[in-house]
Structure formats: C-alpha cells, structure tokens
C-alpha cells in the first residue's frame, strides 16, 4: 500500500520539478517547486522521517520559497510575456551533462542491489532530538553561529545607502 | 754538435721570449742588442756546426708527439742542404736585424717587432732542421704566423691588417694540402720521419707518389707564392721593408722550394709531379716578370721579381736539379735581400715615398746606396760573371738537359723571362736613380735632408760582395769543380747535372747576351731624356695592357668573382635566412605560439557566471563518470 | 523500508538531474540558477533520508536537517546579493556582470 503511495508521490515530484524548470515566469517556477516540495515531504514521512518532513514544509516550502517570492516581486525583471526561456542552444549542454551524470550515478547505484528490508520503521521526535543534541551538539552550535553570520551578511548587503 | 744545434734553435727563441715578456721595461738599446745578439750568436753557432760537420747526421733532442705508432720527437737532421740553409739564414737574418735597428729607429712599438722577428728566425730554423714532417709543419706554421704579424705590423691602418690576413688565408690553402699529404704519408707508410719516408718511396704505387707530389706542390705554392696562390705577396709589401727583405725575399718564400728539395727522393719517381712542379715554376716566372715591368711602386716591383725568381727555383727542382735550385736559392737570398734593403734606404731617404715615378737623381745624392743596389740588380738581371748569372744559368742548363718537348718549351720560356728580368731591373734603376732631381721632392727643404743612416748603408756592402762573388760557390765544370755540387753529391737526389762543356758555354753565352740586350732596351727606353717623357706619360692612370700587367693579370679580381663573392653571398644567406630566419625566428615563433595559446586559454575566464557553471558541471560529470567506470 | 533503496536513489538522481539541467540551461538568469541549486540540494536530502531509513540510523535525518539550515542561510545571502546587483545594473542577467574578465 505504502509502495503505491511512494510511486505516485514520486511521479508528482518529477512532473512538478519538470514544470518548474521549464516555466518562463519565475513566479510560476516557484509555485511548481513548492508543489514538488510538498510531495517530497510526504515521501520523507513514508521513509520514516516525520520531523524532516515537517521541517521541509515549514522551512523549505514555507520560508525559503517565500523569500524567493519576495525578492522576485521586489525586483522588476520586466514583462514575463515578452521574456523567452532558454533556447535549444542553452539546453543541450544541460541535457548532455545531466544525462552523463545521471548515467554514471545509475551505474553506481545498481552495482550491488541491496536487499530491501521489509517493514516500515519510524523515528519519532524524541529519538531524533536526543541524537541531535547529544551527538551532534557542537554541530548545532556551529550552525546557529553560521545562521548569525548569514543574518549579518544579508543585513549588510541589503542596506540602502544614504544618498 | 748537439750543443751547437740546440744553441742555434734556442738563442732566437730565448731572444723572442725575453723581448716579448720584459722588453718594455728594458732600455731601448738593451732590447735591440738582445734581439740582434741572439741572431749573431746563432750565426756563430752555425759556423761552428759547419766546421764540425762530418757527414749527414740526426740529432734527437726531446720527445714531443708520441701515440701508438705515431712518433714525432723533436729531432733535427743535418745534411748538406740544411747546413747551407742554416748558415745562409742566420747570416742574412743577422744582417737584417742590425739594419732594422736603424730603420725602425722612429718606431715606438719596436719590442713587438723584434720579438716577432726573432720568433720568425726560430721558426724558420726549425723548419729547415726538422727531421720529421710534423716538426717541419710546426716551423711552417710558425713562419706563417710571424709573417702575418709582421705584414700587419702597422695594423692601425686597415689596409695593412687586411694584407696580413690575405697572406695568412692564401697560404693556409697550401698548408691544408700539405697537412693532408702528411696524414696520407703516415697512413701509407706508417712513419712521418723524413729520412724514413725518402727511403721508402720505392714501395709506393705511382699514383700515390703523384698524388703526394701534387699535394706537396700545392703546399709549396702557397708558401712560395707561385701561381695560382701568388696573390698575397705583392700586398704583403705593406709591412716594414726589413720584413719584406727577410721574409719575402730570403727565407720564408723559399720554404716551399726547400720542402720540395727535401722530399725530392720521395716524389721524383713521378714524372707527372715533376712536370707539374716545373710548369708551375716556369709559368709563374714568366707571369711575374711581365707584371714587374708595369709596376710603379718600388717594393711591388721587387715583390714580383721575387715571385719570378722563385719560379726559377721551382723550375730547377722540377727538372731534377736540386743542386742548381739550391744554388740559385742561396745567391737569390743575398741579392734580393740586398735589393730590398737598398730600397729601404731609398724609401727612408725619400721620407717613405714608394712611388718610383716620384723619385730621381738619387745616383748622385745617395752614392753609398746606389752602387750596392746596382750590384744587386746586376745579379738579378744575370749580367755575366755575377753570382746570379751562374745560378740562373745552371737551372736553365738542367732544364734543357731534361729533354722532351715540355722541358724544351720551359727552357725557352725561362730564357724569355731572363730577358724580361733584365729589362725591368734596369727600368727600375733608370727611373729611381737616373735623371736629375724629381720636382716632387726637394731634399734640401725636407727635414733631415735626403740622408740615409750610416748603418743601413753599411749593411748593404757585405750582401753586395756575396751577391757578386756568389758564383764562386758553384762554378760550372769547365772553370773548376763546383763546390756546392760536390757537397751535395753525398745527398740523395743531389747529383749535379753532367753537361758537356760546349753546351754549358753556349747556353751561358746566350743567357749573357739576353741580359745585356735587356740592359740595352732599358737604356733605350728609360735612359737620359726618354726618362722624362716616360715619367710625364705615367702621371695619369694606367690603361690597356699596362693596367693589365700592373694589376697582376687581374688575378685578384678573378678570385673575387670566383671565390669571394659567392662566399659572401653564401654567408649573407646563412646569416639572414637561416640564422635569423630559421633559428632565431623559430624561437620567436614558438614563443608567440605559446603566447597565443595562453591568450586563447585565458579567454576562458570571461567573468561570466554562465561559463563557469557549465565548466563546473562538466568537471563534475567527468569525475562521476570516471568513478562509475572504475567501480563497475 | 517500503521500497528498495535503489529506487529511492534513482528518484534522487532524477531530481538531481533536473536541478542540474535547470542551473545550466538557465545560466544567464541569476534567480533560476539559485532555484536549480535548491532542487539539487533537495535531491541530496532525499538521498540522505533514504540511506538513514535503510540502515535504521538517525544520522541521515540529522544531516538533512543540517543541509536545510545551511541552505536557508545560503539562500538569504544569495538573494541579498541578487538584490544588490539588481540595484547596480537593473537586471538579473548574469552575463552583464563580467567585470572579473581575464
């Protein structure tokens, strides 16, 4: 049962991402992307990572994509009807390199097919936070510092100069 | 004997070395005394050697070159030929050194002069006394080098340096042939010792002997200024006059004849080589005589006359008469040195004016120079009963006796040349010494007058006596036994010619008549009043035949066209096309290719993010693909 | 695990492929580049979570959380730079900013 859900959600993710990268208007792309992130969050939950799923929706689809939207709307990038997406001359390196990379990765993934373990496991919040703050405590502190840097940098870069 | 020979060699060498190293710090008289003293000492040693001479001998001094079976020690060979040569060389050189003291009295750089002069004497004595060919070659090259240094003595004038260089390069051609001959002889016979080589000549095939003879002939041609390598000698008159007297009259130019006489037993079996030598000598004698008749420069006329007389000596060797050739060599050394030194007196008195047509009236002004000069000229022209007469005649007799059409023709050519010799000799006398005072030079108003230093005049006297009475060395058989002929008879190849008395007398009468005829012709053309007309006519440039003879049959121009211009064109080609075009430019082009490829690669940093993104992705794809490839 | 790990990884690969194509194809538009980067990072997160689920470890999830945190700081800085650049030249065409040429 969960298997079917997984494949349906996987299809949603792929199609949504595909629409996102071929959209002409950036805002359309962001919306499609948000859709794909929702489906991805559901996949996370199916893989037994509810906390990551929640964070995906709140932080990624909620904060980061909204930030993108703010910035896009703030910048005046011209009429989207008149904009044209990338031509084939721009697409072919992307396709070529993407296919090569994917082909190599596929070869690596299928070298040994590991047997799948039956059953559905689930790691809840308590387990997660215990490991996070006990084993990776230093990482948490460092990340919070890094967020501080980013905050300061973003504030500085975005300030308005006094005329 | 060993002591005397060592002294003969070491004294000039020591004089040269001391003068070269410390000569500048010695007082002038000391340096000159040293230079002259060592040569007089060598002369005394050679006299002692002559008195102590008992027969041909070989003296080994020290080891020099030795590798496997190539042996060339410093060993000297004393036989009649080398004995008379060293006596003549040391005597004439000693006289010329003494003369130079007075001639170069105004010269600042006398130390270099005397050092080179001493070194020259050393090299010449080594050449004459050498027992093996490498040692002879050492002397050969040594005289060539000293000649170069002395011709270009006043090198600050570029023409003199060029003349020295020309002499060196032209003789080098001959030296190369000589070197090839030495190596070939070593390869054929396994030895370079002259005595051994002369003994082994019969074991060689005729072609080899002819080849060796021709190579030695080319070597002799270069050193003795025979055709076609004679172009350097007239230009070599750029050096000081004592140098011309020493090197280019008495000693160095006779080295070629000496070489051929030395190797005579080896090369004489080849009739071709002998004929080649004789033809070279005969043709050169004729050529130089014609050129001498048109010269205006006193020293150049004497240079051409030297070439002509050495042609006679070669002719003698080619006819198989080593004795006659050596006789003429000895007497020629005396009278030619006399003529050059006399010319030096005249030139010094005329304040270094060398054009004959500007001289005149010197018979009354410089009597002490005139009479010896006249004596020398008589010897040169072959006036009967002078030394020159007997020596030239013995050569002509030997040529006639050889028989055959070629030698008969050469004898006729030799007689014709004798006539021309007499003409140009007395032309010289009449123009330089005859007539009244030439209007161009007023001796009274000039500084110091027209005087010749006493010493210079004094040296002329012994040479004049030797020239005139030199015939006594080898009187023809109808008068008395020839001393030189008898002395040489002990040498291989030195046998004198046996001619019937009547043949000798008739030939001598003929030669004497020719000489006197020449005197008459010269008197007719240049004596008395005709002299003034000739001088007036000669004020302009020479034209036609006279220009042809004046420029030495234009051989310099011929060589320029055949050799020098193609060589220069080739040099320019190699310089511009290959050295600059290929070698330099290839490096430049390599550098620019590298530069351009660098610029091309540098265009990758376009500053645009889009380019960087694609490069990034391509690199990542490459890495992952490689990883997949190695793992699977 | 409900599906074989290989399938999860293939899905992550496809998502990564699409993100890479977006970044390369839209390489002249700064914002689309950033979007492509976001997609690629998501694919990485999926791979981590799948691996953690396969081996029954928490560390996979912890690291995807780390990725998320870092992504957010990176995006904020990148977008503020885009704003800054837009103020300079009134365009988001990345080819306009080639002052670092050579």
What tens digit of pLDDT does each residue of A134-158 get? 999 999 999 999 999 999 988 888 8
Q: Which of A93, A105, A111 sits opposite B624 (nearest CB)?
A: A105
* Smallest Cα distance from C48 to chain B, Å: 18
Do B609 and C99 make contact, defined as CB atoms within 8 angstroms?
no
Q: Is C101 inside any structural domain? A: no
CA dist., res. B233 & res. B306, Å (int): 9
Q: Is B609 on the interface with C (CB under 8 A)?
A: yes
pLDDT for the residue C2? 82
Binding partners of C (≥3 Cβ pairs within 8 A): A, B
**Within a 13 Å sphere around the CA of B514, how many CA atoms are in the beta-carbon half?**
24
- Within a domain: residue B101? no
Is there a contact between A97 and B618 if contact means CB atoms under 8 Å apart? yes
DSSP state of B246: I
Range of the domain at B469: 270-475
Q: Chain B, 493-532: which have a CB under 8 Å from a chain A CB?
A: none
Coil/strand/helix, residue B439? coil
Structural element, H or E, at residue B77: strand B70-78
From B443, B475, B507, give the residue that closes a domain: B475
Tell me, letter by letter, the H, E, C secondary structure of B9-70.
HHHHHHHHHHHHHHCCCCCHHHHHHHHHHHHHHHHHHHHHHHHCCCCCEEEEEEEEEEECCE
Does B150 reside within a domain? no
Number of Cα atoms under 13 Å in the Cβ half of residue B230: 29
Contact B614 C24 (CB under 8 A): yes
Predicted pLDDT of residue B481: 59
Q: In this complex, is the C-beta atom of B613 within 8 Å of any C-beta atom belonging to chain C?
A: yes
The pLDDT score that the predictor gives to residue B499 is 65
- Residue C27 counted as domain residue: yes
DSSP structure string for B315-350: HHHHTT-HHHHHHHHHHHHHHHHHHHHHHHHHHHHT
Query: Which of the residue ranges A116-130, B199-213, B573-587, C66-80 has the most confident prediction, judged by mean pLDDT?
Result: C66-80
Where residue C21 sits, what CATH number does that domain have? 1.10.287.3510
In a domain, B611, yes or no: yes
Helix (H, G, I), strand (E, B) or coil at A105: helix
Reported as half-sphere exposure (CB side, CA atoms, 13 A), residue A152 has a value of 6
Q: Do C94 and B614 touch (CB under 8 A)?
A: no
Report the distance separating Cα B387 and Cα B337, nearest Å. 14
Q: Touching check for C92 and chain B: CB below 8 Å?
A: no
Beta bridge partners of B580: none
| Mutation target vs B (from A86, A101, A108; most B CBs, 10 A cutoff) | A101
CB–CB contact A108 B632 (8 Å): yes
Contact in structure between B547 and B409 (CB atoms under 8 Å): no
Assess contact for B328 and B316: CB atoms under 8 A.
yes
Q: Is C31 on the interface with A (CB under 8 A)?
A: yes
Longest dimension (CA), chain B: 121
Q: Rounded CA gap, B73 and B134, in Å? A: 9
Q: What angle do CA B383, B384, B385 make, to 5 degrees?
A: 120
Tokens of C49: 């979570």
SS3 B382: coil
Residue of A nearest to B626 (CA): A104
Q: What is the Cα–Cα distance from B364 to B406, expressed in whole angstroms?
A: 47
Judged by CB atoms closer than 8 Å, whether chains meet at B609 and C30 is answered as yes
The closest CB to that of C83, out of A131, A153, A158, belongs to A158
> Mutual orientation of helices B255-262 and B80-103 as an angle, nearest 10°?
170
Number of folded domains that form chain C: 1
Q: CA-to-CA distance for B332 and B339, rounded, in angstroms?
A: 10
Which of C28, C100, C101 is nearest residue B610 as measured by Cβ atoms?
A: C28
Joined tokens for residue B249: 């009259």
Chain A (107-136) residues lying within 8 Å, Cβ to Cβ, of chain B? 107-108, 111
Q: CA distances (Å), A37 to each of A8, A62, A63, B251, in order? A: 14, 10, 12, 115
Q: List the subunits that have 3+ CB pairs under 8 angstroms with B.
A: A, C
Distance CA B421, CA B413 (A): 12
- Cross-chain residue pair B628–A97, CB shorter than 8 Å: no
Instruction: Assess if residue C96 is contained within a domain.
Output: no
Confirm whether B307 is domain-assigned.
yes
Asked if the structure places residue B594 within a domain, the reply is: yes
Structure confidence by residue, pLDDT tens digits, A48-83: 899 999 999 999 999 999 999 999 888 877 676 666
Nearest CA in chain C to B606: C101
Q: Provide the pLDDT for residue B323.
A: 85
Per-position b or e across B23-41, b if 16+ CB within 10 A of its CB:
beeeeeeebbebbbebbbb
Cβ–Cβ under 8 Å, residues C20 and A97: yes
SS3 C19: helix
Domain-embedded: residue C21: yes
Q: Which chain B residues are closer than 8 Å to C33 by Cβ?
A: 609, 613
Q: Which chains touch A (3 or more CB pairs under 8 A)?
A: B, C
Q: In this structure, what DSSP letter does residue B71 have?
A: E
The H-or-E segment that residue B627 falls in is: helix B609-631
Identify whether residues B391 and B285 lie together within a single domain. Answer: yes
Span A4-23, mean pLDDT?
94
Evaluate the CA torsion angle B449, B455, B458, B460 in order and state its sign: negative
- Look at residue B449 in the predicted model and tell me its pLDDT: 54
Averages of pLDDT over each 10 residues, chain B, 632 residues: 85 90 87 90 91 84 83 86 90 90 86 92 93 92 92 89 90 92 89 83 85 92 88 88 84 88 87 90 92 88 92 90 87 90 86 78 79 88 83 86 84 90 89 70 53 75 79 66 69 63 80 85 78 73 76 84 90 85 83 90 86 91 90 77
Angstrom distance (rounded) from CA C83 to CA B499: 128
Q: Which of B432, B430, B389 is nearest to B521 (CA)?
A: B430
> In whole angstroms, what is the distance from residue A47 CA to residue A122 CA?
8
In a domain? residue B537 = no
Helix, strand, coil in percent for chain A, rounding step 5: 75, 0, 25
C40 contacts in A (CB within 8 Å)? Answer: none
Of B419, B444, B475, the residue that ends a domain is: B475
Chain A residue whose CA is closest to C35: A30
The domain boundary residue, chosen from B448, B475, B502: B475
Nearest to B333 by CA among B250, B251, B403: B250
Residue from the list A93, A94, A100 with its beta carbon closest to the beta carbon of B625: A100
pLDDT of res. B482: 67
Distance from CA of B619 to the nearest CA of C (A): 13
- The total of structural domains in chain B comes to 2
**Looking at residue B490, what is its pLDDT?**
66
Would you state the pLDDT for residue B495?
A: 60
Judge: A100–B620 Cβ closer than 8 Å, yes or no. Answer: no
In chain B, the residue whose alpha carbon lies closest to the alpha carbon of A100 is: B621
Q: B625, A93: Cβ pair inside 8 Å? A: no
B251-276: b (≥16 Cβ within 10 Å) or e: bbbbbbbbbbbbbbbbbbebeebbbb
**Which residue, among A66, A91, A102, A111, would best test binding to C if mutated, counting the most C CBs under 10 Å from its CB?**
A102
First-residue to last-residue Cα distance in chain A: 64
- Whether B57 has its CB under 8 Å from any CB of chain A: the answer is no
Beta bridge mates, B193:
B132
Beta bridge partners of B297: B355
Indicate yes or no: CB of B632 within 8 angstroms of CB of A100: no
B631 CA: distance to closest CA in chain A (Å): 7
Query: Pairing relation of β-strands B70-78 and B57-67?
Result: antiparallel
Candidates A91, A97, A99: best to mutate against B (most CBs of B within 10 A) is A97
- For residue B368, being part of any structural domain is answered with yes
Find where tokens 């055959």 sit. B404
Residues 60-99 (C) with a CB less than 8 A from some CB of A: 60-62, 64-66, 68-77, 79-84, 86, 90-92
Q: How many CB atoms lie within 10 A of CB A63?
A: 14
A101 closest CB neighbour out of C1, C9, C20? C20
**Given an 8 Å threshold on Cβ–Cβ distance, is C100 in contact with B614?**
no
Sign of CA dihedral B624, B626, B627, C1: positive
Query: Does residue C97 fall inside a structural domain?
Result: no
- Determine the pLDDT at residue B445: 47
Decide if B601 is inside a domain: yes
Looking at the fold, whether B456 and B569 belong to one and the same domain comes out as no
CB contact under 8 A, C99 and B608: no
**Can you tell me whether residue B475 is helix, strand or coil?**
coil
Which residues 6+ apart lie within 8 Å of A23 measured at CB? A29, A32, A85
Whole-angstrom Cα Rg for chain B: 31
In a domain, C100, yes or no: no
C32: closest chain B residue by CA = B610
Considering the domain architecture, whether residues B322 and B440 belong to the same structural domain is answered as yes
**Which domain does C42 fall in, by range?**
5-90
d(CA B247, CA B250): 6
């Amino acid at each position: 049962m969960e298997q079917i859900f997984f494949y349906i959600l996987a299809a949603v993710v792929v199609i949504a991402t595909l629409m996102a990268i071929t959209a002409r208007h950036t805002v359309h792309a962001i919306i499609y992307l948000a859709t794909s992130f929702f489906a991805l969050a559901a996949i996370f939950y199916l893989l037994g990572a509810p906390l990551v799923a929640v964070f995906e929706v709140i932080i990624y689809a909620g904060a980061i994509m909204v930030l993108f939207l703010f910035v896009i709307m703030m910048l005046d990038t011209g009429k989207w009807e008149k904009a044209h997406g990338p031509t084939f001359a721009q697409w072919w390196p992307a396709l070529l390199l993407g296919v090569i990379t994917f082909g190599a990765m596929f070869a690596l993934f299928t070298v040994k097919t590991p047997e799948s373990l039956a059953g559905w496991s689930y790691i809840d919040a308590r387990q997660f936070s215990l490991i996070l703050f006990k084993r990776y405590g230093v990482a948490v502190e460092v990340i919070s510092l890094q967020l501080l840097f980013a905050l300061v940098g973003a504030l500085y870069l975005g300030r308005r100069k006094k005329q | 004997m060993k002591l005397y020979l060592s002294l003969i060699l070491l004294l000039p060498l020591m004089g040269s070395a001391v003068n070269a190293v410390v000569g500048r710090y010695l007082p002038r008289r000391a340096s000159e005394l040293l230079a002259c003293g060592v040569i007089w000492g060598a002369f005394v040693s050679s006299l002692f050697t002559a008195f102590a001479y008992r027969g041909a001998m070989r003296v080994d001094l020290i080891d020099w070159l030795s590798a496997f079976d190539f042996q060339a020690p410093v060993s000297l060979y004393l036989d009649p030929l080398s004995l008379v040569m060293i006596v003549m060389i040391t005597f004439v050189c000693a006289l010329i050194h003494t003369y130079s003291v007075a001639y170069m009295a105004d010269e600042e750089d006398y130390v270099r002069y005397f050092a080179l002069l001493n070194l020259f004497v050393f090299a010449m004595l080594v050449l004459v006394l050498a027992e093996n060919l490498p040692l002879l070659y050492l002397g050969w090259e040594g005289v060539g080098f000293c000649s170069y240094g002395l011709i270009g003595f006043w090198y600050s004038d570029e023409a003199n340096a060029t003349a020295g260089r020309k002499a060196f390069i032209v003789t080098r051609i001959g030296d190369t042939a000589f070197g090839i001959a030495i190596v070939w002889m070593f390869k054929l016979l396994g030895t370079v010792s002259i005595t051994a080589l002369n003994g082994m000549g019969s074991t060689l095939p005729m072609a080899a002997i002819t080849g060796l003879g021709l190579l030695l002939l080319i070597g002799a041609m270069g050193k003795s200024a025979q055709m076609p390598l004679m172009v350097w000698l007239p230009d070599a008159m750029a050096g000081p006059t004592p140098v011309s007297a020493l090197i280019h009259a008495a000693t160095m130019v006779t080295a070629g004849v000496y070489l051929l006489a030395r190797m005579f037993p080896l090369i004489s079996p080849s009739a071709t080589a002998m004929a080649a030598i004789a033809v070279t000598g005969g043709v050169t004698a004729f050529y130089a005589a014609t050129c001498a008749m048109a010269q205006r420069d006193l020293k150049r006329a004497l240079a051409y006359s030297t070439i002509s007389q050495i042609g006679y000596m070669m002719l003698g060797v080619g006819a198989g008469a080593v004795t006659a050739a050596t006789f003429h060599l000895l007497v020629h050394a005396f009278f030619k040195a006399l003529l050059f030194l006399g010319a030096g007196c005249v030139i010094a008195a005329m304040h270094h004016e060398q054009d004959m047509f500007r001289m005149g009236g010197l018979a009354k002004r410089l009597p002490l120079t005139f009479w010896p000069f006249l004596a020398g000229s008589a010897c040169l022209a072959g006036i009967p009963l002078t030394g020159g007469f007997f020596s030239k005649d013995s050569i002509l007799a030997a040529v006639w006796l050889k028989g055959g059409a070629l030698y008969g023709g050469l004898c006729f050519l030799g007689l014709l040349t004798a006539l021309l010799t007499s003409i140009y000799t007395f032309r010289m006398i009449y123009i330089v010494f005859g007539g009244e005072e030439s209007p161009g030079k007023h001796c009274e108003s000039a500084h110091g007058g027209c005087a010749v230093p006493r010493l210079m005049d004094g040296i002329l006297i012994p040479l004049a006596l030797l020239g005139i009475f030199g015939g006594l060395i080898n009187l023809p058989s109808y008068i008395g036994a020839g001393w030189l002929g008898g002395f040489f008879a002990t040498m291989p190849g030195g046998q004198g010619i046996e001619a019937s008395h009547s043949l000798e007398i008739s030939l001598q009468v003929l030669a004497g008549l020719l000489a006197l005829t020449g005197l008459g012709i010269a008197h007719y053309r240049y004596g008395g009043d005709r002299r003034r007309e000739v001088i007036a006519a000669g004020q302009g440039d020479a034209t036609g035949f006279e220009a042809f003879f004046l420029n030495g049959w234009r051989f310099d121009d011929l060589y320029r066209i055949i050799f020098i211009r193609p060589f220069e064109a080739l040099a320019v080609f190699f310089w511009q096309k290959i050295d600059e075009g290929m070698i330099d430019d290839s490096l430049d082009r390599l550098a620019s290719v590298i530069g351009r490829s660098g610029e091309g690669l540098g265009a990758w940093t376009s500053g645009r993010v889009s380019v960087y993104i694609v490069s990034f992705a391509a690199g990542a794809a490459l890495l992952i693909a490689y990883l997949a490839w190695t793992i699977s | 695990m409900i599906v074989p790990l290989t399938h999860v990884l293939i899905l992550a690969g496809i998502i990564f492929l699409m993100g890479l194509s977006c970044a390369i194809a839209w390489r002249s538009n700064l914002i689309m580049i950033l979007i492509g980067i976001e997609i690629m990072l998501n694919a990485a997160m999926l791979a981590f979570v799948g691996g953690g689920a396969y081996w029954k470890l928490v560390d996979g999830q912890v690291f995807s959380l780390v990725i998320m945190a870092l992504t957010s700081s990176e995006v904020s800085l990148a977008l503020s730079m885009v704003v800054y650049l837009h103020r300079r030249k009134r365009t988001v065409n990345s080819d306009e900013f080639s002052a670092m040429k050579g």
